[in-house]
Chain A
Amino acid sequence: MIPANFTYHKAASVKDAIAMAEELGEEAKFMSGGHSLLPMMKLRFATPEHIIDISKIDGLSYIKEDGDVLKIGALTTQTEMEYSDLLKENYHIFSDAIKLTADPSVRNVGTIGGNIAHGDAANDQPALMFAMRATIVAEGADGTKSIPIDEFFHGFYMTALEPTDILVEIQVPKARKGCGGAYQKVERKVGDYATAGVAVYLELDDAGVCQQVGIGLTNVSAVPMRVERAEELLRGQKITQDLIEQAGVITSEDCEPVSDLRGSEAYKRSLVNTITKRMLNKALERANQ
């Protein structure tokens, strides 16, 4: 399989890439790792006329804490995240997710920015971004914009990014005492789309009361989603097993899975219930450490 004809352009800087996108118009697509886009091009699901390669741009690959946020450069590969001491020590939710994302060779090339900008509810990072209430930073023809994750996903493979916007950074809350996150997905085999996945992030105060909670889901809706009703149930409460049971049920009710070769709708709802409860318990345990 080979992609349909297109013209390749290599961008040397973000500014350069934006200028190319302005000139080439809507038939141009940015490519970072290319491990979501190129397979779609080979299957002719995507047929862009121009590819603007942003993977060679310097300075967009980093993981650093700055003030009260963790900043990850959009071109940071999944492998770089996997081996980051900072993430391994303090951000277990990323370690949970990355070892389940595709396989090691794909992770060597695939980037966190691409995983999010692709706008696919089957990718892992959108669920984490919802759970952690991330801010997505993009640069475009009209300057830099910070987009809250709740305003980022617009539809099936549709995001808030304009054709000339480049996702340059993600920002999530800096790890601190009382915070904890966890992610699990069930897949039939390594590299398959998720049957279902759940990301949870909790912020507890000194008394153990839940101040903020995020629950994001993988591949049980057409558009990446959070589960507001379950979050509302837990916010302001001391999290008990009874509340966790209820949150699991609510999440299984509010997700929007469809029956396919990975399982029936009922099976997926049941799976979401189980994973949600497990991840709430795991996040709670980590937040209390």
Chain B
Amino acid sequence: MKHEITLTINGASVTAKVDSRLLLVHFIREQLDLTGTHIGCDTSNCGACTILLNGKSVKSCTYLAVRADGAEITTIEGLSPEGTNHPIQQAFHDQHGLHCGFCTPGMILRSVDLLKNNPNPTEEEIRWGISGNLCRCTGYNNIVKSVQQAAQEMQKEKEATV
């Protein structure tokens, strides 16, 4: 049975017909062709499929597409306007927060949620904050540094706009 869903993805409204059992990650990758959202473990352990659903980080391999009806979704493609970097993306670039890049979209979107709830996290809070996202290359140190840089930059931006 197909269900019609309408949702906003990276600012654009999308209407589609989906099967009950279609997973959100497959909808995003295969129906919307947004392949920046990766599939890693497929068991909600690794966080490669992390997206923002109504502003909160969610593992899209463990979410039914039909349940996203009415939701606002942000994937890595929509985090900042084309050709620009979000402060977190820039920080991952500056601090070498990635090697192979497979975990990076998930890491960055998870970090958006983390810094929204806790704009000035300690190193320990960052490590707990990204504990559901696995990286097999970096050993995490540069990822932590990236989140720290992003936190500082985003604080500065916030102060500048007040």
Contact = CB atoms under 8 A, between A and B. Distances in A.
A103 B43 contact: no
Nearest to A53: B67
A108 B62 contact: no
A53 B71 CA distance: 15
A105 interface: yes
Interface in B117-134: 117, 128-129, 131-133
A243 interface: no
B117 A109 contact: no
B3 A103 contact: no
B64 interface: yes
A123 interface: no
Contact of A105 (B1, B3, B59, B66): B59
Contacts of A55: 67
Contact of B58 (A1, A10, A105): A105
Contacts of B57: 104-105, 108
Interface residues of B, number: 32
A184 interface: no
Contacts of B56: 79, 105, 108-109
B6 interface: no
Contact of A106 (B26, B42, B132): B132
B64 A34 contact: yes
Nearest to B109: A105
A7 B18 CA distance: 11
A140 to B, nearest CB: 24
Most chain B CB atoms below 10 A, which of A6, A35, A103, A109 = A103
A35 B26 contact: no
- Contact residues on A (Cβ < 8 Å of other chain), bracket: 20 to 34
A39 interface: yes
A51 interface: yes
A3 B67 CA distance: 15
A99 B21 contact: no
Contacts of B64: 8, 34, 38, 51
Contacts of B154: none
B132 A51 contact: no
A8 B20 contact: yes
A4 B19 CA distance: 11
Given A1-B42, A104-B131, A191-B132, A6 B58 contact: no
Contacts of A8: 1, 3, 20, 64, 66
Given A6-B20, A104-B57, A106-B132, A34 B66 contact: no
Given A8-B3, A83-B117, A35 B47 contact: no
18 contacts: A2-B21, A2-B23, A5-B20, A8-B1, A8-B20, A34-B62, A34-B63, A38-B63, A51-B20, A51-B64, A83-B117, A103-B47, A103-B131, A103-B132, A104-B114, A104-B132, A105-B113, A106-B132
For the complex of A and B, the 7 pairs showing the least CB-CB separation, nearest first, are: A103-B132, A8-B20, A190-B131, A108-B56, A105-B57, A3-B21, A105-B132
